[in-house]
Amino acid sequence: MALMTRFDCRVLLAAVWLTAVPLAGQSVPVFRDLFNGKDLTGWVNVNTDEDTWSVKDGILICKGQPIGVMRSDKQYENFILHIEWKHIEAGGNSGVFVWSDAKPGEKNRLPNGVEVQMLELDAITGRKGRDGQPLSPGYVHGDLFGVGGVEIVPDNPRGVRSSSLENRAKGRGEWNTYDVVAIDGVIKLAVNGKFVNGISKSTQKKGYLCLESEGKEIHFRNIKIMELLPGVTSPEQSAPLLD
C-alpha cells in the first residue's frame, strides 16, 4: 500500500472532520456563495472599467476589456472553490488567481498568486511554446502556474507550469466546472468532475481570489467557497491586506 502524502492526510482529516459531530463552539464548514447572482457584492474592482463586469439573469459577465482583475473582498487560506465558466468567443482567455496580492503589475496589469487558467479551446491554435513546439492541449485545460514571483512545484511539469493529464474542457458556449482544493500551499484541480492537475509548495498560500479580464467575453456562475481550517502560514507566505 502506498504511503499517504501530507496532502492526502490533510484531505482525509478534513473529510473526517466534515462528517463528525461539531465540537462545542465549532461549526461544520459549508459552501457559501461568493457571487449572489444579483450584483457584485463581495467583489472589488481592481483595475478594470466600471462596465467590465456586470450581472444579468444570474450570470456574472466579463466583457474582457481592459485587461485586469476583480478581487474578493477578503483573503482566503485553506478552502474548496467551486466555479463555473464559459467563453463566448473563440480563443478566449481568462482565469482565477488564488492566494493573490491583488496588486497589478505595471506592464501586464495582472497580480501575483497562483493562476488557474481558463482558455477557450481555440486559444492554442497556431501557437507555439518557448521551445518552438505546438502548445499541448493541456495548456487549455486548467494550467496551474505561479505568477508575479510566486513559485510552485508542478505535479505535471511543462516548464514551470503544471498541465492537466486529461483534456476535459468544453469549447465556447458550453459551461465548464472547476473545483479547486487549496490547502497549505497545495492545489488540486478538478475539471468537469475529475481531478487532473495540481501543484505544491506555493511560496504564497494566503491571499485574495481574483477573476481575470483578458481580452474576450467570459461568463461565470455558481461561484461558491468552503473555508477550511487554517494552517501554519507565516506573514511572508501571506499577501498583504488591502483596504
**How large a percentage of the chain has pLDDT more than 90?**
74
pTM exceeds 0.75 for this model: yes
Q: Indicate the domain borders of the chain.
A: 33-230
Query: Which range has highest mean pLDDT (3-17, 111-125, 229-243)?
Result: 229-243
Report whether pLDDT(16) > 90.
no
Query: 228 — phi, psi (to 5°)?
Result: -105, 175
The answer to whether domain 33-230 has CATH 2.60.120.560 is yes
Q: Mean pLDDT over all residues of the chain?
A: 89
For 175-227, what is each residue's pLDDT tens digit? 999 999 999 999 999 999 999 999 999 999 999 999 999 999 999 999 999 99
Q: Which residue has the higher pLDDT, 242 or 23?
A: 242
Q: Which residue has the higher pLDDT, 87 or 25?
A: 87
Report whether pLDDT(19) > 80.
no
For 105-153, what is each residue's pLDDT tens digit? 888 899 999 999 999 988 877 677 777 777 666 666 789 999 999 999 9
* pLDDT for residue 3: 45
* 54-to-21, 32, 40, 217, 231 alpha-carbon distances in Å: 41, 21, 8, 11, 35
Q: Which residue has the higher pLDDT, 183 or 8?
A: 183
Q: Which of 32-41, 113-122, 136-145, 233-242 has the lowest mean pLDDT?
A: 136-145
